[in-house]
Structure 1
Amino acid sequence: MIHAFPRFLTATIVALACSAATAFAEPPAEPRVLNYEELGKEIGKRGGTLRMLMAKGKDISQMTIYGNARLVIYDQNFQLQPDILKSIDVEGNRVFTFALREGHKWSDGQPFTSEDFRYWWEDVANNPTITKGGPPQALLVGGKPPKFEVIDERTVRYSWDEPNPLFLTSLAGARPTYIYQAAHYMKQFHEKYADPAKLAALVEAEKVQNWGSLHIRKGRQYRPENPDNPTLQPWMNTSPAPAERFVFVRNPHFHRVDPAGTQLPYFDDVIINLASSSVIAAKAGTGDSDLQGRYIKIEDFPFLKKGEKDGDYRVLLWSSGRGSERVLLPNLNASDPELRDAMRDVRVRRAMSLAIDREEINEAIFLGQGRPAANYVLPESPLYTDAMAEAFAQRDLDKANALLDEAGYDKRDSSGFRLLPDGRKFEIIVETAGESSQETDILQLITDHLSEVGISMFVKPGQRDILRSRVGNGDVVMSTWSGLNRGLATSDMNPEELAPVSSVQAQWPVWGRYFETKGASGEAPTMPEVAKLASLYEEWRTAESSEEQSRIWAEMLSIYTDQVFTIGTVSGAVQPIVVNKKMRNIPDKGIWAFEPTHYFGHYMPDTFFYAE
């Protein structure tokens, strides 16, 4: 009885909230009518609760990823199309005119208009108290911002002197660039519009540094922690953070409808319960989740499949959309001069790749479901070629040994390990974020593989934030992470993963910081191949046609793969998905990736429903 009352109370609140949302449902006068024949879906019915499990409060950002409501999104062929927007007119990748849907409203019923774009551009993006670095990179071409125009209440325009192919793809991302905010709500937290005394009281009550910090906290859209902040997503959060249980209810003004005219989403509400990541698979296997992919791994599949017969769920196997399930990231900016020279030598990187027994990793870790391959785009990508996918990915110990000898590491100690020029053992410490037992198992196998060519490797688990700091300081010689997020890349997607553009890229953090800070810190790339990637990336940023973008992507992929800047292992592995047996409109086969499928988002969870 101790737990019955809170559960009953929560259920009552959810029911009331959902009832209210249903009663006042009002899609735009010009909704987006989904083509179910093209999407392979059936007409559903409204109602029901979708339960999911997450490990941390910040995981509620997955609701934004899964919801996949964007100004523009990728269609079934990964081509960009309007979603929240009614239409887009593009002139030479320089001028972008956006038309909004008539009658579209925020979740609180207030109109969604060009004022929301103007407010973000003038009062947020260009206000240093809120946005210290100025407008996001996606809105800068050669360091210059766009000309922004409000044409009318439902039309806005962005224009640059040079092409900006990054603009639309950034709006469609899993973590999109937001160029609008709910002006009617956010103005109460802005110095320009708010009553000074009330604003000061809010700053004090929230215990933040200033009104700018308050504005950021109240206006987050990617991680919807503030229930009062209006949204355009299919479900809206009703639970203030921190919480152990987050309840999202239907957005009564969502812009999509099914072919029969029924406003989406079908589910009344989504409940996210928090649990330790180590028990999520077990809880999914006992029916505590209706839709679960996050925190489930391939090693959980036998257990989940065994429980499928008696459980109220089925287990799907979706393909992974990553370029590689696990990669080694040699730090070309490591502070140790001897090991830095080794990591910068392409012969060493190629030799390490050739020494890895990917077949063993595939069988032992991925149940034989993956493909031994470099960290490269997947066969489903139009940019894919067999030759590059297999570059230095077939085990060849003779060639690996020959390359290491040629690189000057031909001297060995009494145990057979190679020596650095200063006489130290050629020993690499691979540092990890310590978040996956699968990661540890893979690295242990690679440790054995590299020992066969005389390279000693040790694994050092740590914490993600500490690891990033150590990598950026040059304290880490090699780290590990998952492969390319855009394994399904098309030419209009941002090729940023292939070039030094960010300090969090563990293979070249110092060179990435140079780009990130526009030369204020870090260093310009000194390796010709890395400098060429940076140059090609800048070319893509100003490409005028899809043909030019395709040419640049192909050249970047060729350099990136040939130079083995990241050492891939296995691609095309599978991701177990636990699904309530009654759920419909979720595909049996899908691709599990952050981008461009947004995990479940590409398959539109707003169209999922329960059959009788």
Structure 2
Amino acid sequence: MKKHSLFIGLLVVVVCLSGFWTGASAQQGFYNEAPMLAERVAKGELLSVDERMPANPMIVQPVEQVGVYGGTLEIPVEDVMTTSRPSRFIGYEQLLRWDAQWLRVVPNLAQSVESSDDATTYTFTLRQGVRWSDGELFTADDIMFWYEAVLLNPELTSRPPNWVSTEGVPATVEKIDELTVKFQFTKPNSFFLRDLANVIGSAPTSYPRHYLEQFHPDYNANVNDLVAAEGFADWMSLFKGKASADNMEKPSLGAWIIVERGETIVAERNPYYWKIDTDFNQLPYIDRLVFVQATSAEEYEAIMNNGQAHVVFDNEFENFSVYDANVADVESITLISSNSSSVAIGLNLTHPDPILREAFQNKDFRIALSYAINRQRINDEVFAGQSEPYQVAPRPESPYYNEQMAHQYSEFDPDLANTMLDDLGYDQRGADGFRVTPTGVPFSFKLQTNSETSRQYDVLVRVAEDWQAVGINVSIESFVGDKSEDYNNLLFAGAQDSYISEAVGGLDVILEVSYYFPVHPFASFYASGWGYWYRDPSNEVAIEPPPPVQEQMRLYNQIKETLNPDAQAELMTQILQISAQEFLVIGTVLDPNSTMLISANLHNVPPSIPLAFSYPTPAPTNPAQYFIDPQN
């Protein structure tokens, strides 16, 4: 498999001189705009583009070429009511953002940031003159409103999120002036800038004060009148509803504004969008986005052949394949998975049952089960041969890739598995033919899942068959539909036998470590007790982990305390070495890449794009610079 270096680095600060841009934007006709906006300007309905643009707009380098204005882009989705696609095309306008290659963090609404050497203080300078979609200025007051009215309000935020707090203590946010804010942490937080570029870092720029303050009692003494008029139960419900991205009245900072929600979701260009291309054309190029529902291959085929430009994800639909449709003039964009193993099996290492806990915590027991899995069969029958046997480890595209870690214990060797289980004392079998414990007690466990996808279930069926073949009494328990709450209760009680999911951290290794060691009780369900201990050893449900895992936790704390990328990489390498030695989670096959299909006349889309939760595909590629060529 070809290797590509894909490294998540530290912030590269780009400081544009506001004086230059202030002078430039004062010139009449300095910027260009879409014809549909020029018509509104001519009618006196809208300020000129020069008056709408900030003093220091963000310049976006087009992927291929400077585009042309116009057109409608349709995005077929499985369910218009529940899809998250709009936020990944329209949203993601945060203080900072990932670059398109997921190599580094770059400025966005903040034009620059200064970090203290001890990673406790971060001072942001905002772009001057950026406006919300209703024309009101975006300033430090909006960030302070989020901080004071939302983050510090216990009725809206019961516990500050980890990205903006250290040891449960929220950062102090201070307004220096209209364009400058400072975040101060009580402990070093070297991940803060990366977290701000992550989707979890959207909050500081999501609360327009001039609109939302009317729904908050600290700013409107008569808010209960609005609660009654709007039919909400209390002011908190009212505020959350008005602050939601689903509220089309809330001003936005995105390239398009949602103007219709129903059978389709329609978004039209934001006249106050604050980004330009290299020829000083205000973005976006495309007039409108339409998210349209397709419930069958026939509907999908009709949509894709209706003459509009399209973008669709090949894994969007559960009940049919996009490749079964007859669609002309589409091109493929590779979506590079950020996951490691596609189906990772985390046996509950802190299980309340002492018999299962003893077995699961035994590394050789886990290794024996790993040897018993026929991964090539899984690859051939479930993944159509598009993957390879793979443990929980960084992907080949990652600079942290380690051949041994990725493939250790992945050979299919049931004879060795049987021998190892015998040597561990599980050599006797009961009347049912399954192994009993070294003390002669029958034992069994379940592979438990709440996945609605057939792929994960199909993998588990084959794993269960392989383990049964070496004498392990294992079965599958599925929690779907109305059983999902039972599954969650089991997980949060730490009483599950196993936790099955895709293993994150294949590319974003430092940010997503939950499968390399239990960093959080709810991100590392395979060892919740150890995760609780890492967060708070005094917690009554915390369980002290073994020394190697404690060493991983100590090393990770050191990563949080340094901004030096070389030091972080060295510490992360040590964590991975321990992870390889301990073999906490069993992998199956490498999560395969997927595809985004685009119309041949849609341009400025990179040929490959990372696919991850942390990287909200395709938003970091700046869809505002996509364009539709009417001649092609």
* Shorter-normalised TM range: 0.7 to 0.9
The 1-side partners of 2:438 and 2:186 are apart by 52
Report the counterpart of residue 6 of structure 1 in structure 2: none
Report the counterpart of residue 422 of structure 2 in structure 1: 405
Any conservation in 2 of the 1:383–1:489 contact (CA below 8 Å)? no
Residue ranges of structure 1 left out of the alignment (5+ in a row): 1-14
Q: For residue 343 of structure 1, report the CA deviation from its aligned partner.
A: 1.8
Any conservation in 1 of the 2:139–2:178 contact (CA below 8 Å)? yes
Q: Which moved more, 1:547-556 or 1:97-106?
A: 547-556
Q: For residue 61 of structure 1, report the CA deviation from its aligned partner.
A: 3.5
The 1-side partners of 2:438 and 2:226 are apart by 62
The 2-side partners of 1:121 and 1:524 are apart by 34
Task: Pick one of 106, 110, 117 that aligns with 1:85.
Answer: 110
Task: Pick one of 208, 213, 218 that aligns with 1:192.
Answer: 218
Report the counterpart of residue 558 of structure 1 in structure 2: 577
Q: Which moved more, 1:398-407 or 1:257-266?
A: 398-407
Q: For residue 477 of structure 1, report the CA deviation from its aligned partner.
A: 0.5
Establish whether residue 480 from structure 1 lines up as the match of residue 506 from structure 2: no
The 1-side partners of 2:38 and 2:411 are apart by 55
Letter matched to residue 247 of structure 2 = N
Q: What is the DSSP-based 3-state SS (H/G/I as helix, E as strand, rest coil) of the residue aligned with 1:150?
A: strand
Any conservation in 1 of the 2:166–2:189 contact (CA below 8 Å)? yes
The structure-2 alpha-carbon separation of the partners of 1:343 and 1:157, relative to structure 1 and needing over 3 Å to count, comes to same
Letter matched to residue 470 of structure 1 = L
Letter matched to residue 186 of structure 1 = L
The 2-side partners of 1:564 and 1:58 are apart by 41
Report the counterpart of residue 446 of structure 2 in structure 1: 429
Letter matched to residue 624 of structure 2 = D
The 2-side partners of 1:606 and 1:218 are apart by 26
Q: For residue 101 of structure 1, report the CA deviation from its aligned partner.
A: 0.8
The 2-side partners of 1:342 and 1:569 are apart by 20
The structure-2 alpha-carbon separation of the partners of 1:402 and 1:72, relative to structure 1 and needing over 3 Å to count, comes to farther
Identity over aligned pairs, percent: 27
Task: Pick one of 617, 624, 628 that aligns with 1:599.
Answer: 617
Q: What is the DSSP-based 3-state SS (H/G/I as helix, E as strand, rest coil) of the residue aligned with 1:87?
A: strand
Any conservation in 2 of the 1:146–1:159 contact (CA below 8 Å)? yes
Q: Which moved more, 1:376-385 or 1:570-579?
A: 570-579
Task: Pick one of 181, 198, 214 that aligns with 2:238.
Answer: 214
Q: What is the DSSP-based 3-state SS (H/G/I as helix, E as strand, rest coil) of the residue aligned with 1:69?
A: coil
Any conservation in 2 of the 1:412–1:419 contact (CA below 8 Å)? yes
Task: Pick one of 223, 226, 237 that aligns with 2:247.
Answer: 226
Task: Pick one of 339, 345, 351 that aligns with 1:322.
Answer: 339
Report the counterpart of residue 558 of structure 2 in structure 1: 539
Q: For residue 184 of structure 1, report the CA deviation from its aligned partner.
A: 1.0
Report the counterpart of residue 3 of structure 2 in structure 1: none
Q: For residue 200 of structure 1, report the CA deviation from its aligned partner.
A: 0.8
Any conservation in 2 of the 1:511–1:522 contact (CA below 8 Å)? no
Report the counterpart of residue 265 of structure 2 in structure 1: 246
Any conservation in 2 of the 1:318–1:589 contact (CA below 8 Å)? yes
Letter matched to residue 154 of structure 1 = L
Establish whether residue 469 from structure 1 lines up as the match of residue 489 from structure 2: yes
Any conservation in 2 of the 1:430–1:459 contact (CA below 8 Å)? yes
Residue correspondence of structure 1 range 502-521 to structure 2 within 5 A: 502-513=521-532
The structure-2 alpha-carbon separation of the partners of 1:501 and 1:207, relative to structure 1 and needing over 3 Å to count, comes to farther
The 2-side partners of 1:173 and 1:521 are apart by 32
Report the counterpart of residue 54 of structure 1 in structure 2: 77
Task: Pick one of 201, 205, 210 that aligns with 1:176.
Answer: 201
Q: For residue 562 of structure 1, report the CA deviation from its aligned partner.
A: 3.1
Q: For residue 171 of structure 1, report the CA deviation from its aligned partner.
A: 0.8
Q: For residue 372 of structure 1, report the CA deviation from its aligned partner.
A: 1.5
Q: Which moved more, 1:338-347 or 1:311-320?
A: 311-320
Letter matched to residue 535 of structure 1 = R
Task: Pick one of 332, 341, 349 that aligns with 2:358.
Answer: 341
Task: Pick one of 273, 282, 290 that aligns with 2:310.
Answer: 290
Report the counterpart of residue 16 of structure 2 in structure 1: none
Report the counterpart of residue 122 of structure 1 in structure 2: 148
Q: Which moved more, 1:400-409 or 1:359-368?
A: 400-409
Letter matched to residue 477 of structure 1 = D
Any conservation in 1 of the 2:513–2:519 contact (CA below 8 Å)? no
Report the counterpart of residue 102 of structure 1 in structure 2: 128
The structure-2 alpha-carbon separation of the partners of 1:61 and 1:71, relative to structure 1 and needing over 3 Å to count, comes to farther
Establish whether residue 164 from structure 1 lines up as the match of residue 210 from structure 2: no
Any conservation in 2 of the 1:52–1:292 contact (CA below 8 Å)? yes
Normalising by the residue count of structure 2, what TM-score does the alignment of the two structures yield? Answer: 0.83
The 1-side partners of 2:254 and 2:266 are apart by 14
Q: For residue 23 of structure 1, report the CA deviation from its aligned partner.
A: 5.9
Q: For residue 159 of structure 1, report the CA deviation from its aligned partner.
A: 2.6
Q: What is the DSSP-based 3-state SS (H/G/I as helix, E as strand, rest coil) of the residue aligned with 1:179?
A: helix
* Matched length: 578
Report the counterpart of residue 161 of structure 2 in structure 1: 136
The 1-side partners of 2:515 and 2:233 are apart by 34
The 2-side partners of 1:299 and 1:58 are apart by 17
The structure-2 alpha-carbon separation of the partners of 1:23 and 1:293, relative to structure 1 and needing over 3 Å to count, comes to farther
Letter matched to residue 557 of structure 1 = L
Establish whether residue 202 from structure 1 lines up as the match of residue 226 from structure 2: yes
Report the counterpart of residue 454 of structure 1 in structure 2: 471
Report the counterpart of residue 26 of structure 2 in structure 1: none
Letter matched to residue 213 of structure 1 = S
Letter matched to residue 553 of structure 1 = M
The structure-2 alpha-carbon separation of the partners of 1:205 and 1:411, relative to structure 1 and needing over 3 Å to count, comes to farther
Any conservation in 2 of the 1:503–1:516 contact (CA below 8 Å)? no
The 2-side partners of 1:34 and 1:467 are apart by 45
Any conservation in 1 of the 2:259–2:267 contact (CA below 8 Å)? yes
Residue correspondence of structure 1 range 249-398 to structure 2 within 5 A: 249-275=268-294, 279=296, 283-288=299-304, 290-293=310-313, 295-296=315-316, 304-305=322-323, 307=325, 310-398=327-415
Q: For residue 462 of structure 1, report the CA deviation from its aligned partner.
A: 1.5
Residue ranges of structure 2 left out of the alignment (5+ in a row): 1-34
1:454-475: per-residue Cα shift (whole Å, max 9, x none)?
Answer: 2233222213443222222244
Q: For residue 115 of structure 1, report the CA deviation from its aligned partner.
A: 0.6
1:525-563: per-residue Cα shift (whole Å, max 9, x none)?
Answer: 444344333333333322342233212322222233432
Q: For residue 111 of structure 1, report the CA deviation from its aligned partner.
A: 0.5
Letter matched to residue 536 of structure 1 = L
Q: For residue 298 of structure 1, report the CA deviation from its aligned partner.
A: 11
